Amino acid sequence: MIRYIVSVVLLFSISTSIRAQNPDSVQLRKIFENAITNREAYHNLEFLCKQAPGRLLGSPNSYIAVDYMRDYAEQMGADTVFLQQYITPAWIHESSDAGIVYDDGSEYALTIDALGPSASTPKEGITAEVIELTQVEDIERLGREKIGGRIVFFNRPMKPTFINPFAAYGDAVDQRYWGPVKAAEYGAAGVIVRSMTYNLNDIPHTGSCAMRENRIPAVAVSTMDADYLSSELKKVPGLMLNINVQATDTALTTYNLIVDIRGKEKPEEIILVGGHIDAWFNTEGAHDDGAGCVQAMDVLRIFNELKIQNKRTIRAVMFMDEELYQSGGAAYAKYTKENGIDHLLAIESDAGAFMPIGITFSADPDFIAEMQQFKSLLEPYGGGFLKKGYGGVDINPLKEFGIPLAGLNTVRQRYYNYHHCMSDTFSEVSFRELQMGTTLLTGLIYLVDRHWESTDDN
């Protein structure tokens, strides 16, 4: 097992009042100036968004995106660039629509997107009576007699009274993730779920659900049409809905992209920074998570350009398939185990290209307490806190190996304006905020690499 100790020199230096004269403070300023005046990451993000949108696992654009970032890493002069190949199940979306069907034969089209991995319908879709619920637990309460053969409509809004939007999302997302599973268990014909967003508009937000074996058609509806459907249900008892989803289930070969700048003293020790390169079929995937990918790659570029003599190997990973089956993170964890890779720290950027506010750590309390010694150095660059919290979906499988995990945190109030929908575009990203996130990631990695030593407890 690995334990970590911070150098006495660093502890002394950050406790003094002459931070501006501290070599680390000077280096962090250089990192910031480089990040905020270089637009390569921003241009890379533009390519991912405009040339390879809808990068869901198995899509042609998912391969275009990985190839582009691989070529960029090679041109940048990274020491190691390779595609980690693996085979995984995949769900390929083709088309989806839904609409209210009235007794007189007229229809009202709803703005929807399929949830992944929704079951496909017959070519003409399925038509069934709608039942509106607000809680997943209502399925069991009503039983198969009321649920069987009907389309379940989950319509519980995200609560705006949560200060933290991630908490509001966590409070509501069970409808989308577990609702279709429970509805299928009780014989429902399909599911339609209110989009996970505060906004009231005609933009549907998709996402994954936990269905694997017993699957039924499942879609997300815009909040405005969710309200309309709810009002129509009150006026028209027995209202019918048609859902049409066309998708293909398959197995395929895909890739994580792994890029290294080799350590000068302890190359066998890895500091990992990464994001997920896949994005839902309905979006450019700018904030989620093209930004995290280009930030991770920009960390390596900055180390290269500033000629920082990193002791450890700095590794950027573009994980595939965070959105659907999380197969990329699982494949990388397997690769880690099979090759005995020694990670000092793994960091994920998947909170959008908004202004950074801190880093959360999923690690033992002693590690987190020691990491807080870096706070005064990182605070000017968005490191307002270094505290216990979540690391990230892609790096979470590494936790079983005792590896400390970290996650970039940002100002999140607008996050669910963009999450899993067509609004998540390149034009909605601030260059400066993107690069402030890059600065914080690079600064943390620089300090960990420079000041932390690892020894074997045994």
List pLDDT tens digits, range 133-156.
Answer: 999 999 999 999 999 999 999 999
Which stretches of 59-168 are assigned E, i.e. beta strand?
A: 80-101, 107-110, 112-114, 126-133, 151-154
pLDDT of 18 higher than 80: no
- Largest pairwise CA distance in the chain: 80
Please state the rounded mean pLDDT for residues 424-428.
Answer: 98
pLDDT of 16 higher than 60: no
pLDDT of 266 higher than 90: yes
pLDDT of 10 higher than 90: no
**pLDDT in the model for residue 330:** 98
Q: Cα 41 from chain centroid?
A: 18
Mean pLDDT of the chain: 94
Q: How many C-beta neighbours within 10 Å does residue 60 have?
A: 10
First to last CA, the chain: 7
Highest-scoring range by mean pLDDT, 12-26, 30-44, 440-454: 30-44
Question: CATH fold of 95-247, please?
Answer: Glucose Oxidase; domain 1 (3.50.30)
CA dist 418 and 429 (Å) reads: 11
Digit-coded pLDDT (tens) for 251-261 = 999 999 999 99
Give the residue with greater pLDDT, 2 vs 403. 403
| Region(s) of the chain under CATH 3.40.630.10 | 2-79+262-456
> What are the start-end ranges of the H helices in 194-250?
223-235
| Region(s) of the chain under CATH 3.50.30.30 | 95-247
Closest C-alpha among 322, 278, 287 to residue 55: 278
3-state secondary structure of 301: helix
pLDDT of 61 higher than 60: yes
pLDDT of 454 higher than 50: yes
> What are the start-end ranges of the H helices in 133-222?
137-147, 165-172, 174-177, 179-185
Q: What is the pTM of this model?
A: 0.93
**pLDDT in the model for residue 455:** 52
Please state the rounded mean pLDDT for residues 98-105.
Answer: 95
pLDDT of 6 higher than 80: no
* Beta-bridge partner residues of 3: 455
pLDDT category at 237 given cuts 50, 70, 90 is: confident
CA dist 98 and 242 (Å) reads: 5
CA dist 176 and 296 (Å) reads: 30
pLDDT of 113 higher than 80: yes
Give the residue with greater pLDDT, 389 vs 14. 389
pLDDT of 12 higher than 60: no
Q: Say which amino acid occupies 441.
A: L
CA dist 266 and 262 (Å) reads: 9
Q: How far is CA 445 from CA 77, 281, 296, 359, 441, in A?
A: 19, 33, 11, 12, 6
**pLDDT in the model for residue 19:** 47
Please state the rounded mean pLDDT for residues 43-52.
Answer: 98
CA dist 270 and 177 (Å) reads: 34
Backbone angles phi, psi at 121, to 5 degrees: -100, 170
Please state the rounded mean pLDDT for residues 80-84.
Answer: 98
CA dist 384 and 119 (Å) reads: 44
**pLDDT in the model for residue 348:** 98
**pLDDT in the model for residue 453:** 76
CA dist 320 and 286 (Å) reads: 15
CATH of 2-79+262-456, one of 3.30.365.10, 3.30.479.30, 3.40.630.10, 3.40.630.30: 3.40.630.10
pLDDT category at 207 given cuts 50, 70, 90 is: very high
Span of 5-14, 75-84, 192-201, 340-349 with lowest mean pLDDT: 5-14
Cis omega (within 30 of 0) on the bond before 117? yes
Please state the rounded mean pLDDT for residues 85-97.
Answer: 98
Q: Cα 361 from chain centroid?
A: 16
- For 180, the token pair is 């279709």
pLDDT of 5 higher than 50: no
pLDDT of 46 higher than 70: yes
Percent of all residues in the chain with a pLDDT value above 90, rounded to a whole number? 93
- For 451, the token pair is 């000041």
**pLDDT in the model for residue 13:** 46
**pLDDT in the model for residue 452:** 87
